[in-house]
């Protein structure tokens, strides 16, 4: 169960759009209403944020590529040949577009039949993913938290089309935090869901406890970026201490 502490940590970020918890389900989830809309899969994050209510989607709710990436429908045909991306001018050749279909992460057919979306504050399950849409300042804090304990590098895997692969299936399978950018991906841009320049950060369940712990321990503003007198004094003391350590390492040899 998603802890109250974790909910508080995400609430304290004061994001302009609430963080959304995601659960991939084999069986129909109990206690949730099915979405009535038929839309792009990436649009359902915004629905959860706007309506502030949990719900689930099934194959019939998705009119784009999400259902194929989730293994709900066959992943192939004209789209996977790259012809669509070529014909619409997204790629120079069909081959260039087709490469993408060999690189994206696809869930095993039949393993995910329903997807639950819930604002984090209302989440009463263990999420597979938590997705945040954040301005740069808050995004920086989230990415710092992803490496504060582990030292993991920040990575961004994404593409112009099929942003749902990098938002959902890739982080879930890889266990890596991933981040994309509003205004740079076809489906999201076509739907006009968010203003350009925001960061879409997906935290998979493998990293969720670590990120929550880091956000409770980390200073929101690192010491180097604070300009108050006390912080400047601390930086000076640290520099003096490091110089002492360096001098100790470089002591002249004694016979």
Q: What is the pLDDT of residue 154?
A: 96
Over pLDDT 90: what percentage of the chain?
Answer: 79
- Is residue 169 predicted with pLDDT exceeding 60? yes
- Min mean pLDDT across 33-37, 139-143, 174-178, 243-247 is at 243-247
Instruction: State the average pLDDT for the chain.
Output: 93
Supply the angle between the helices 4-12 and 205-217 in degrees, to the nearest 10: 60
pTM of the model: 0.92
Other CB atoms within a 10 A radius of the CB of residue 114 amount to 20
Q: Domain map of the chain by residue range? A: 4-220, 222-255
Q: How many whole angstroms separate alpha carbon 208 and alpha carbon 193?
A: 25
DSSP character for 85?
Answer: H
Q: In this predicted model, what pLDDT tens digit does every residue of 92-147 receive, in sequence order?
A: 999 999 999 999 999 999 999 999 999 999 999 999 999 999 999 999 999 999 99
User: How many angstroms separate the first and last alpha carbons of the chain?
Assistant: 64
What contacts 51, CB < 8 A, 6 or more positions away? none
Give yes or no for a contact between 130 and 210, defined as CB atoms under 8 angstroms apart. no
Q: How many whole angstroms separate alpha carbon 130 and alpha carbon 206?
A: 11
Q: Give the residue-averaged pLDDT of 221-231.
A: 87
Q: How many whole angstroms separate alpha carbon 133 and alpha carbon 11?
A: 13
- Is residue 254 predicted with pLDDT exceeding 80? no
């Amino acid at each position: 169960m998603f802890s109250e502490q974790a909910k508080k940590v995400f609430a304290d970020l004061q994001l302009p759009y609430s963080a959304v918890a995601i659960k991939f389900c084999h069986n129909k989830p109990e206690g949730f209403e099915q979405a009535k809309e038929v839309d792009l899969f990436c649009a359902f994050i915004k629905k959860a944020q706007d309506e502030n209510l949990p719900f689930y989607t099934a194959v019939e709710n998705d009119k784009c590529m999400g259902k194929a990436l989730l293994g709900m429908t066959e992943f192939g045909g004209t789209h996977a040949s790259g012809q669509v991306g070529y014909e619409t001018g997204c790629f120079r050749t069909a081959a260039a577009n087709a490469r993408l279909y060999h690189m994206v992460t696809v869930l095993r057919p039949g393993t995910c039949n329903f997807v639950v979306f819930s604002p984090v504050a209302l989440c009463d399950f263990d999420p597979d993913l938590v997705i945040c849409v954040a301005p740069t300042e808050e995004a920086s804090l989230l990415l710092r938290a992803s490496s504060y304990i582990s030292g993991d590098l920040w990575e961004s895997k994404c593409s112009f089309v099929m942003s749902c692969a990098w938002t959902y299936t890739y982080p879930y399978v890889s266990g890596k935090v991933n981040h994309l950018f509003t205004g740079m991906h076809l489906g999201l841009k076509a739907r006009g869901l968010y203003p350009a320049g925001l960061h879409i950060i997906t935290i998979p369940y493998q990293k969720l406890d670590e990120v929550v712990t880091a956000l409770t321990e980390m200073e929101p503003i690192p010491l180097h970026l604070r300009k108050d007198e006390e912080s400047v004094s601390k930086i000076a003391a640290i520099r003096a201490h490091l110089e002492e350590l360096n001098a100790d390492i470089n002591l002249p040899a004694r016979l």
